[in-house]
Structure formats: structure tokens, C-alpha cells
Amino acid sequence: MNNIKIKIAENAGFCFGVKRAIGLVEDALKNSKEQVYCWGDLIHNPVMIKNLEKKSLKIIDNLKDFKENSVFIVRSHGITLEDLNLIKTKTNNIIDTTCPFVKKAQNCAENFKKQGLQVIIVGDKNHVEVKSINSRTGNQAFIVNNPKDLDKIKNKLSRKSGIVCQTTQKNSKLEEIIASLKKLKVDFEVQNTICLDATKKQKTVSELGNEIDLIIVIGGFHSSNTTKLAEIGKSKKIKTFHIEKAKDISKKWFSDSVKVFLTAGASTHPNEIIKAKKIIKSLTF
Ligand code: SF4
């Protein structure tokens, strides 16, 4: 035993969208006579993916490996309209696990486009979710990841713009971009499509005070929402470590009386938090 104090984020781990996606895939694996395919990892959690593979889920990196008329899983991040239409030529058996928050972002972008607004997506242009949102605008949106990106497009913003956001972005980034658009005197409308789960997880980290010496964020290195939590921790000048699994915790980060905050991204199983707590509690000095 040691004197380390541990505070665990109430909202650490699996979000509603990830639980829903896993449930839909498990039902498909139970009920379908056909092979069930997922194009890319269903969620950013290698342990959960392995479990689903044991239950016969087939993860493919290339669509060429999809066997016609099998079951196709649309991931919680969504899919581009072009890819969805292509899949529809290969099977009618599509299970759509797109998270309702992602659907909302897609629909907002589509509505802005229909109203004749120039759509701006705040997010990472290489992320599959952002590509799926952009496809709802006919791939006509401008994608900005920071206020500097606005410099490249400011001369093209002659008509009113409609702003939507990748669901896992930081609220602070959206606020910065809105402030920059105001300075540019651009006419715009905003739909804050950052998901409630991501917002709550971010808030618990951004509201941490001086009582915390160390933040540990558990979740996939490719997970956008997890990475954002670690970024917020670092921006508060609190020593922050982003790890994929509880067993990656290192004794070197601790002293006997440190106060630790433990949180986890939306794809992280709550068991990892319990394991992390046990590992920390068992440290001796
Ligand atoms: S993090 Fe938010 S948007 Fe992403 S799957 Fe979870 S609830 Fe949906």
C-alpha cells in the first residue's frame, strides 16, 4: 500500500455510441448466417476487437476482401456516401452502427449545403468521420483544424458559412475558430456537433485544479477523443501520460504521496480503469 490518492473520472471509458456499436455487431454475429465484415477496426480498442474476432467478426483493410452478399458493418465513425453506395452494389446486408452524434453532424452539413451555405468542418481532414461529413456536402466543404487554416480560405468566404464540428474535437478549438471568423467579419452560423460524451469527458479534465499532480489517460493512440483528453491535461501544465493499457503504467511517474486523476477515452473498457487503480495502489516506495 502507499499514500497515493486516486480520483477517477465519473465518465471514464465506454460512451453510448461505442456500447451501441458493439451491441449491434454482437447481435449480427449471433444472428447472421453470413460472414460479418468490418472495414477497419470497429473501435480503437485492440482487446475488444480481438474478442469480436474470436466470435468470427472479420476485419478487412481493403474492400476487395469483402465477399458479396455478406454482412457489412458501417462503423460508428460513419462512412462516405461514395463508399456506402459502392457497398450497396455488393450487399443488401448492411448494419449501420454510425453513432447518432456523427449522424447529426452529417445531417447538419447536408442541411447547410441545401440552404446554399458554404460548409466549414472543424476537424482533422484525414479522419474517416470528417470525410463522411464532407461527403454529405458533395465534398465541397472547407476543413479547418486551427485558426491558421482560415488564412488559406478567407478570400473564398464570400457567402454565408455553416460551421459543423467533428464530434470529438475540443470545444476550445471550436471557440477559437469562431473567434477568428468573427475577426474576419465573415457571416456564419454554427451547429456545435461535438458529442455530449466528449464534452463531459473534456470538462472533467479541464476543470481539474491544483490538487492533481498527475493525469493518466487510457485509450487507443489513434483515438481522437482520447488524444484530446491528454492534450487538455498537458495544456493545464499537469504531468499527463496517455497509455493504451493499464499495464503500461510506470512506477517512475509516481512518488508516495502523489494525487492522480484517472480517465479513459470512449473506446476504453471500464475494466482497464479498475486494473489501473489496482496497479497504482500496489506500488511501493
Ligand atoms: S465519442 Fe461521441 S460521437 Fe464518438 S461514438 Fe462515442 S458518443 Fe458517439
Helix (H, G, I), strand (E, B) or coil at 117: coil
Report the separation in Å between the CA atom of 208 and the middle of ligand 1, taken as the mean of its atom positions.
23
Q: Are residues 107 and 89 in the same domain?
A: no
Identify whether 129 is a catalytic site residue: yes
Report the separation in Å between the CA atom of 173 and the middle of ligand 1, taken as the mean of its atom positions.
18
Which pTM does this prediction carry? 0.90
Q: Are residues 151 and 227 in the same domain?
A: no
Bridge pairing between strands 118-122 and 214-218 = unpaired
pLDDT at residue number 214? 97
Q: Are residues 135 and 176 in the same domain?
A: yes
64: CB partners within 8 A, 6+ apart: none
The verdict on the CB of residue 215 being under 6 Å from ligand 1 is no
The verdict on the CB of residue 76 being under 6 Å from ligand 1 is yes
Q: What is the pLDDT along the chain (285 residues), one digit of tens a residue?
A: 789 999 999 999 999 999 999 999 999 999 999 999 999 989 888 888 999 999 999 999 999 999 999 999 999 999 999 999 999 999 999 999 999 999 999 999 999 999 999 999 999 999 999 999 999 999 999 999 999 999 999 999 989 999 999 999 999 999 999 999 999 999 999 999 999 999 999 999 999 998 999 999 999 898 889 999 999 999 999 999 999 999 999 999 998 889 999 999 999 998 999 999 999 999 998
Considering only CA atoms, which of 225, 211, 214, 212 is closest in space to residue 264?
225
- CATH number of the domain that residue 107 is part of: 3.40.1010.20
Say which residue the cell 451555405 belongs to: 117
Range of the domain at 52: 16-97
Q: Are residues 209 and 126 in the same domain?
A: no
The verdict on the CB of residue 195 being under 6 Å from ligand 1 is yes
Q: Are residues 185 and 207 in the same domain?
A: no
Report the separation in Å between the CA atom of 4 and the middle of ligand 1, taken as the mean of its atom positions.
32
pLDDT at residue number 33? 94
The verdict on the CB of residue 181 being under 6 Å from ligand 1 is no
Q: Are residues 215 and 239 in the same domain?
A: yes
Which of 110, 129, 231, 272 is an active site residue? Answer: 129
Atom of ligand 1 nearest to the CA of 20: 5
Q: Are residues 146 and 174 in the same domain?
A: yes
Alpha carbons within 13 A on the beta-carbon side of 98: 22
pLDDT at residue number 47? 82
The verdict on the CB of residue 101 being under 6 Å from ligand 1 is yes
Q: Are residues 188 and 107 in the same domain?
A: yes
3-state secondary structure string, 168-231?
CCCHHHHHHHHHHHHHCCCCEEECCCCCHHHHHHHHHHHCCCCCCCEEEEECCCCCHHHHHHHH
DSSP 235-264: HTT-EEEEESSGGG--GGG--TT-EEEEEE
Largest CA distance in the chain: 64
Q: Are residues 175 and 210 in the same domain?
A: no
Domain count for the chain, please give it. Answer: 3
Domain boundary among 137, 164, 194: 194
Q: Are residues 107 and 157 in the same domain?
A: yes
Q: Residue 190 forms beta bridges with which residues?
A: 163
Residue bearing the CA closest to ligand 1, atom 8: 17
Report the separation in Å between the CA atom of 11 and the middle of ligand 1, taken as the mean of its atom positions.
13
Report the separation in Å between the CA atom of 283 and the middle of ligand 1, taken as the mean of its atom positions.
34
The verdict on the CB of residue 16 being under 6 Å from ligand 1 is yes
Atom of ligand 1 nearest to the CA of 76: 5
Considering only CA atoms, which of 153, 23, 235 is closest in space to residue 227?
235
Domain boundary among 50, 77, 97: 97
pLDDT at residue number 285? 87
Domain boundary among 167, 194, 221: 194
DSSP 33-68: SSPEEEES-SSS-HHHHHHHHHTTEEEESSGGGPPT
Residue bearing the CA closest to ligand 1, atom 4: 17
123: CB partners within 8 A, 6+ apart: 129, 130, 133, 143, 145, 165, 166, 169
Report the separation in Å between the CA atom of 167 and the middle of ligand 1, taken as the mean of its atom positions.
7
- CATH number of the domain that residue 50 is part of: 3.40.50.11270
pLDDT at residue number 188? 96
Pocket-testing residue among 11, 16, 228, 269, ligand 1, by greatest number of atoms within 8 A of Cβ:
16
Q: Are residues 105 and 92 in the same domain?
A: no
